[in-house]
Amino acid sequence: MEHIQEHINTEHIWAEARDFLQQYYQENQLEGLAARLREVEAAIGLKGQYWHTAEELAFGAKLAWRNSNRCIGRLFWPTLKVLDYRRINSPQAFIQALEDHIALADGSRKIRNVISVFPPQAPGKRLPFRIFNYELIQYAGYQEADGQIIGDPKHLEFTARCQALGWRGAGTPFDLLPLVYQYEDQPVQFHEWPPELIQEIEIEHPEWSSFQSLQLKWYKLPMISNMRLSIGGIDYPTAPFNGWYMLNEIATRNFGDQQRYNLLPAVADKLGLDRSSPFWKDKALIALNEAVYHSFQKAGATIVDHHTACEQFMRFVAREQAEGREVTGDWSWLVPPNAGSTTEVFHQEWSNEVKCPYFFPPSDSKG
Ligand code: ARG
């Protein structure tokens, strides 16, 4: 079975553990590395793994963010709040932990960057808690009999899976999908979030009142839940984390992409744009960006525009260089889909080398 780790390579774990612990002790100027290394080496020899201290875990999660080649928001890596849920042992506590995470991340004026770390993969054992969602908060997509799609086409398959588990959505374009999870070897289950826990923003345009009739909205909290956090040779496949949105993610990609909500034609028509001009898509995209930005700002919801995000990223790069560290990055993900060449990120080359700790994607899908 794919989620039971059969073969453990203790050589590999030990090499990764050594690198990580050296970095942890060095960057934090700590004493006692040699003793800790002896302890960890003995544990790996005995059990094929070792247990991170709470401090090692917190630092490792922050490094995994700092090393995330596809992330433009890395300036804020030191502020990551790490919730240590490695000792949780019941589905009730699991769901409570996730709901606490959402409330903590999105409960005050500004979104906080939070990660929840659940029990690691143990050699030869089943992972106690698995999450099947791509993000904890996401919208359903339904294929109608006539082939038409309602909602987010990205989640057609996942929605069908939820329905097979007995979940029923209202059938609107913005139905919140449930959490789909598995505890030990129990059947896969779903859990619907209490509606008041999930904050959503209705989208209006600052100038065009006709825009409102599109009846768009989006949730505030992007919370990736399918990446594997890897620290010093130990894998945490269940470690959902949240940031805040960069404007283009919602306005340009989720709303604009043809294979997503595909809203450019409808927006163009609402605004009366001349579709025989080659620029109608550009104009519709700008209108969508203005609308999402304005609506989030008006609601006091944290969001960053792509120009500011790129400036913040370049500050991160400068800070890293001052510390003597080279920043790695994936150009095709870092450059924003709008006005790319107006940002400094566009005009540089980035080494896409993977440095551990890291968040590994389950597949190479782009989104
Ligand atoms: N692109 C994803 C979405 O639109 C979110 C990915 C994570 N984004 C973030 N700002 N932390 O939902």
Return the pLDDT at 9.
Answer: 86
Tell me, what's the pLDDT at 1? 43
Q: How far is the CA of 326 from the centre of ligand 1 (A)?
A: 25
Mean pLDDT for the stretch of residues 307-317: 98
Among 249, 253, 296, 302, residue to substitute to test ligand 1 (most atoms within 8 Å of Cβ): 249
Q: What residue owns the CA closest to ligand 1's atom 11?
A: 243
Q: Is the pLDDT of residue 365 over 90?
A: no
How confident is the model at residue 356, as a pLDDT? 97
The residue contributing the CA closest to ligand 1 atom 10 is 245
- Residue 2 in this model has a pLDDT that exceeds 80: no
| pLDDT tens-digit series, residues 23-47 | 999 999 999 999 999 999 999 999 9
Separation CA 313–CA 327 (nearest Å): 10
Token pair of 287 as six digits:
């209108």
Give the catalytic positions in this structure: 71, 74, 244, 249
pLDDT at 4: 58
Q: How far is CA 1 from CA 6, 7, 124, in A?
A: 9, 12, 11
Per-residue pLDDT at 366:
45
Q: Which residues line ligand 1 (CB under 6 A)?
A: 135, 222, 224, 243, 245-246, 249, 254, 367
How crowded is residue 164: how many other Cβ atoms within 10 Å of its Cβ? 9
How far, in Å, is the centroid of ligand 1 from the Cα of 221? 8
Residue 49 Cα, ligand 1 centroid: separation in angstroms? 32
Q: What is the pLDDT of residue 5?
A: 56
Q: How confident is the model at residue 364 (pLDDT cuts 50, 70, 90)?
A: very low
Mean per-residue pLDDT of the chain = 95
Cis peptide before 153 (omega within 30 of 0): no
CA–centroid distance, 245 to ligand 1, in Å, is 6
pLDDT at position 195, please? 95
Are 351 and 57 in contact, with CB atoms under 8 Å apart? no
pLDDT on residue 91: 98
